[in-house]
Each structure stands twice: as C-alpha cells, then as structure tokens.
C-alpha cells in the first residue's frame, strides 16, 4: 500500500540532493503528505477500521499501519504518529481525509490541540467540503457542525 515511512525518507533524501544540485536550500522546501485518518476512542474499533482498509487493498494490517497514506488508532496513537512524521520524516504540512464528520470532530477536539493553532485553522478551512456541511471553529480550535 503506497509508500512506507522508511521509503519516504529515501525519497526525501533524493529531493534534498536534487535541490542542492539546483542551488536551492533543501531546508526551504515544505514537505507535505495526504493521509486518511481512521480514528476512534475505542482501540478495537480503530483496529477494525485499519483491518478493513488493509483487506480492501489486499495487504496485511501491519503494512497499512506503516503506510504514509494511512494514520489510524485512538487519539493518543494518532497524535504520536503525527509527531513521529514531523520529527522523523520532516513533514510540516498535512492534508487529511476523514471517513465521517464524527471523526473530524474527534480529531479537532482530541488531536489538534496538541499541535499549533495555525494548523488547526488550515485544517478546518477544508471542513465545509465534507458532505456539504457547514463547520466553524471557535477560539479553542473545536470544530462545530451546524
């Protein structure tokens, strides 16, 4: 299933080499990724979502857990995975997809406060696109559906 985290590091190194060869500072390149978020407060439910996704793609569940296009688990597990991708891979911009509006709300309440306000604002700018719903964000960073 897609690139694994270890594969991405190799590709980022190639990108940095090409940037240097072109006379560009690799540190000025913002690294981004798109990932689907499978999130639940219940670990068994999150694991079941990941297993179903793995079955859909015909891969082992462990391979899905290490795919760059998938982040799944409880809010604490998702926070750790996002932080690892920031620290170990160097990703600084995340585009995220969610299967349900409830997952978006859980993410906004329990994951995003761990990260910076500007990331919350950027993420929630996309919320109106989900199911045609109207979302807003209060000053605590909590997305609300109306």
Segment 99-127, tens digit of pLDDT: 889 999 999 999 988 886 555 555 555 55
Q: For residues 85 and 5, is the Cβ–Cβ distance under 8 A?
A: yes
Residues 15 and 46 in one domain: yes
Residue 127 and residue 82 share a domain? no
- Asked if 4 and 65 sit in the same domain, the reply is yes
Q: How much is the pTM?
A: 0.73
Alpha-carbon distance values, 41 to 49, 65, 127 (Å): 12, 17, 21
- Indicate whether 22 pLDDT > 50: yes
Residue 145 near residue 101 (C-beta atoms within 8 A):
yes
Which run of H or E residues covers position 97? strand 93-97
Is the pLDDT assigned to residue 3 strictly greater than 70? no
Domain with 116 in it: 101-146
The count of domains in the chain is 2
Task: End-to-end CA distance of the chain: give it in Å, rounded.
Answer: 36
CA distance 31 to 74: 25
- pLDDT tens column, 28-47: 888 888 999 999 999 999 99
């Amino acid at each position: 299933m897609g690139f694994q985290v270890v594969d991405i590091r190799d590709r980022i190194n190639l990108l940095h080499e090409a940037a240097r060869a072109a006379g560009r500072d690799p540190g000025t390149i913002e690294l981004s990724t798109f990932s689907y978020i499978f999130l639940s407060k219940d670990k068994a439910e999150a694991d079941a979502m990941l297993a179903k996704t793995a079955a859909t793609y015909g891969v082992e569940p462990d391979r899905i857990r290490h795919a760059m296009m998938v982040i799944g688990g409880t809010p604490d597990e998702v926070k750790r995975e996002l932080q690892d991708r920031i620290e170990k891979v160097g990703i600084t911009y995340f585009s995220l997809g969610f299967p349900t509006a409830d997952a978006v709300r859980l993410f906004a309440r329990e994951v995003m406060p761990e990260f910076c306000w500007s990331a919350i604002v950027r993420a929630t700018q996309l919320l109106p696109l989900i199911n045609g719903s109207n979302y807003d964000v209060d000053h605590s960073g909590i997305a609300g559906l109306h």
